[in-house]
Amino acid sequence: MSSTEEPRVALVTGATSGIGLAVTKALAARGLRVFICARNRENVVSTVKELRAQGFDVDGQAGDVRSVAAVREVVEAAVNRFGTISVLVNNAGRSGGGITAKITDELWHDVIDTNLNSVFTVTREVLTTGGLDGADGGRIINIASTGGKQGVPLGAPYSAAKSGVIGFTKALGKELAKTGVTVNAVCPGYVETPMAVRIRQAYASTWDTTDENVLAQFNDKIPLGRYCTPEEVAGMVDYLVADTAASVTAQAINVCGGLGNY
């Protein structure tokens, strides 16, 4: 980027912890202006303050990605603050599952709304209001999951939603290919985040065992023998934003320690 060229603008959802926070730091370190959102206003404010103290050009606004109106407000705020959005990272998500026969309507719909419907809603708003449609070097990166490819026992809502994200990614990637905007999914396996802790606690309760035993079982399933880090997932996002990834589109790329192989 030349000294006279304006920095690119990124929007990252669910950006106050875990993968979203790591992605925000990686993109800001690359020189992008990053606008973040999450549901909790206090977390957004404190995260923006912390990142600015590290010298990053970051701002943000609270918003619930399940709400069409809230998504529009966030995108409008991002454009007003930094300008046209050229990079979107749909990261906001939640865990959710259990014995399928006992899953409530409320849980099912909330997981789908949070993990799948929001990806469509935010993407549509960024393509239109955000100005990403046809943006030079435009990038859409959706955080999916290996669970969306292989299925997760006791995680039917989560697996269904992430599978939908992968299908949406591939369809939109082909649709936008002629414009130069790339669309890809990053599919983490087990990643050590606050959500991962909650997931292990839920399995421990269902299986009547300890969190430590669940962790040991999960580590045993991973060929590398350990969880990935948020920074490792962010590294793949960082690559997909680079000019050298301009020919990568409509892909679902694993970052999973060998857990998934397709």
Our answer to whether residue 239 is catalytic in this structure is no
User: Are the beta carbons of 180 and 132 closer than 8 angstroms?
Assistant: no
Spatial separation of the C-alpha atoms in residues 126 and 144, rounded to whole Å: 19
Residues 6+ apart with CB under 8 A from 223: 257, 258, 259
Place of tokens 């991973």: 222
Name the DSSP letter for residue 193: S
Instruction: Give just the sign of the alpha carbon dihedral 171, 97, 236, 10.
Output: positive
- Active site residue: 158, 190, 203, 227, which one? 158
Spatial separation of the C-alpha atoms in residues 70 and 64, rounded to whole Å: 6
Main-chain phi, psi angles of 129, to 5 degrees:
-60, -40
Spatial separation of the C-alpha atoms in residues 146 and 126, rounded to whole Å: 26
Q: What is the DSSP string of 8-30?
A: PEEEEES-SSHHHHHHHHHHHHT
Spatial separation of the C-alpha atoms in residues 7 and 179, rounded to whole Å: 20
Spatial separation of the C-alpha atoms in residues 89 and 13, rounded to whole Å: 7
- Burial label, 150 (beta-carbon count in 10 A; 0-12, 13-18, 19+): middle
Residues labelled as active-site residues: 158
